[in-house]
Structure 1
């Protein structure tokens, strides 16, 4: 690892607009028009807070670090506020940061000889950094975007920080190549998933801290119909059901004869579609009344086991607290659960206290009248 005197040089890149489209139902944040639309709908930047959660894990070693970053919201503001020693490698162009700013920052951090680059963003950010520096420098991603298919990301922000610390302390010094995946967001918003491999980057071999590449969502029809039948027979009248994205949950609305959205969040009451593809604010208006019974139906991301914080950010911390853990219905076919190889389910809402509350164990519907108790971790 490159050192400057007695310090270790690392790089930090924050994509300030990462994840803006999540809570307002835009399925991503790629493109200036989408960013402006997200902000107009009331979206709030979250990447800096996720980065702060990761960097907090480096508190005990920060005196031995010099952090190379870009000015402003791409790293400087957060790092200086947290007391890190900062070296500015450059400044983004005027206005909102762009993919070009991310790429140039990655190249300048590489050229500065950093031991590792920690970055906050989504699959688009990972793709930009991969295009800029390829396999030149090990990286660890802090999941802050809507789409997190790439295996260069930690399972959550805290684990990103832990992975960095272990790597710098030599506890996990080995690196391996990890896939950088991204999807066509325009097709995604039309309900069609088209993922593609864009390359590989080096990541520390860090056990449970790093996530796996998202697996195929193919499941056996009989398994799926069993899950659907169980959930529908248990649905109660005068109860509002928040139905998250995914092929498993879409099968529920299909069986009810409703035009649900594959990649958005819908609300169903009395077997009727109350609202489709809602934003977080729209969802809150539908469920904020404490007198109205509300439940959440979600499925897991195949191969990763994520419950909240990946593609369903519309189901925000305030909505999860309003509903409560006991009213969350988790669905997953046996095939999806088997693909986890006994790894726990993961919650990464961006609210560390809530993630802790949701951890422990939860019931998962895996077939008709067939449920299992499965561990959940933050």
Structure 2
């Protein structure tokens, strides 16, 4: 039986800036490490590959050296071939060079871990090679995950590979490669751009949609949502997540808001702004705390997209019952019945967070909506 040839690329620096509030990793990896950030991309890829460990005798992994894939694949016991020697500290050109080497290896699928910048680097090579009809699948490991080439979680990426290994009928579809200007992003401005398309397995349960752009324009609804939360505020710390829906709450409170970061308030007063994951743990330890978040339009993620400061450790500390989710009904309807998704980096915690939540959709107006990662519910 023909062995499955799986190309593997890990961007070791992906997501470094997220937990320390740098809104990305492009050009700030050294700064992120100095602030205490720890690489997560290897772990994210490991979570994907562990799903297909029972099939490892059917898989050949073709990859780049060291932290770009070879070390992890060998550690997990896969038959591994290295076709590109990377630098000790990798750059975008290493991803691009690795893809150039992998294109000629008759791959069945290229699995990569990174963010939108990594997707762009891969696309920049594939678009220049007319013969490179290479299916790809992203394991989300970056801060920015606007592109439609990513699985909804690392585990979901593994499930899709498992489907291919089982010879299930999986179609291919074209998915957008998107990225934003990180310099503008750190200043609170989102400038998204479509760069092109790559082919991905067409499994809508497990592959994320492209993020819906645009700011909520129904200001009356947002004001009603904010008023409901304010009317029920208690003598506790409130962690205020990112996004325009949550920003409306801060606007009603007349408090400066970090649109693309995380703030902490108490007694309707700002305690700390644009905080890191470590600072959040320190600020909230042994203190009653509520977490206020919203979902990413079109995708449905409430954790793990643009708010990596909300670490698994923090979520456990705060507790599931202290999570407040805000959303307009328009945003929920746009999901067309798909559940909300959590991607905390801890699959066991993600399982614990599943269930029905009371979503604040107006003043004293709520809907029950399900958090149910499809990949976890079927594993």
| Length-normalised TM-score, structure 1 | 0.95
Deviations 1:59-105 (A, max 9, x none): 12211111100010000111001000001011112x31111100111
Match of residue 230 from structure 2: 232
2:279 aligned with 1:250: no
Q: Which moved more, 1:277-286 or 1:213-222?
A: 213-222
Alignment partner of 1:22 out of 7, 18, 22: 18
Alignment of 1:330-345 (within 5 A): 330-345=325-340
Residue 187 (structure 2) aligned to one of 180, 186, 190: 190
Is residue 308 from structure 1 mapped to residue 303 from structure 2 by the alignment?
A: yes
Q: How does 1:40-119 map to 2 (within 5 A)?
A: 40-93=34-87, 95-119=88-112
Larger mean CA deviation between 205-214 and 126-135 belongs to: 126-135
Distance 1:376 1:259 in 2: 30
SS in 1 for 2:282: helix
Shift of 1:172: 3.4
The CA distance in 2 between the partners of 1:23 and 1:132, in whole Å, is 30
> 1:226, 1:368 within 8 Å by CA — same for their partners in 2?
yes
Is the CA contact 2:149–2:200 (under 8 Å) kept in the aligned structure 1? yes
CA distances 1:156-194 after superposition (whole Å, capped 9, x unpaired): 001101111212433133111000000000000000000
Conserved in 2, the CA contact under 8 Å of 1:223 and 1:334?
no
Q: Deviation digits for residues 290-320 of structure 1, max 9, x if unmatched?
A: 2x21100001000101011111111111111
Residues in 1 aligned to 2:351 and 2:185: alpha-carbon distance in whole angstroms? 31
- 2:352 is paired with a residue whose SS is helix
Query: CA separation of 1:172/1:226 partners in 2, compared to 1, >3 Å: closer, same or farther?
Result: farther
Q: Distance in 1 between matches of 2:270 and 2:170?
A: 52
Counterpart-to-counterpart distance in 2, 1:279 and 1:164: 34
Counterparts in 2 of 1:189-208, with a 5 A limit?
Answer: 189-208=186-205
Measure the CA separation in 2 of the matches of 1:155 and 1:181: 16
Corresponding residue of 2:268:
271
Instruction: Give the distance between the partners of 1:265 and 1:207, measured in 2 at CA.
Output: 30
Equivalent residue runs for 1:121-200 within 5 Å: 121-134=114-127, 136-200=133-197
Measure the CA separation in 2 of the matches of 1:338 and 1:278. 32
User: Secondary structure in 2 aligned to 1:315?
Assistant: coil
Counterpart of 2:313 in structure 1 is 318
Alignment partners' CA distance in 1, 2:172 and 2:163: 12
Tell me the CA shift for residue 273 of structure 1: 0.4
Is residue 372 of structure 2 the alignment partner of residue 377 of structure 1?
yes
Partner-residue secondary structure (3-state), 2:306: coil
> Does structure 2 conserve the Cα–Cα contact (< 8 Å) formed by 1:167 and 1:204?
no
Structure 2 match to 1:358: 353
Question: Runs (4+) of structure 1 moved beyond 2 Å?
Answer: 167-170, 216-219
Structure 2: any 5+ residue segments left out of the alignment?
374-379
In structure 1, how many angstroms separate the alpha carbons of the residues matched to 2:158 and 2:169? Answer: 13
User: TM-score normalised to the size of structure 2?
Assistant: 0.95
Q: Secondary structure at the match of 1:209?
A: coil
Query: Distance in 2 between the 1:53 and 1:346 partners?
Result: 17
Deviation readout 1:192-231 (Å, 9 max, x if unpaired): 0000001100001113010000012433222211111111
Greater CA deviation, 166-175 or 348-357? 166-175
- 1:217 and 1:302 in contact (8 A); partners too: no
Count of residue pairs the alignment pairs up: 368
- Whether 1:349 and 2:344 are equivalent positions in the alignment is yes
Q: Indicate the SS of the match to 1:207.
A: coil
Shift of 1:327: 0.5
Deviation at 1:136, TM superposition (A): 2.4
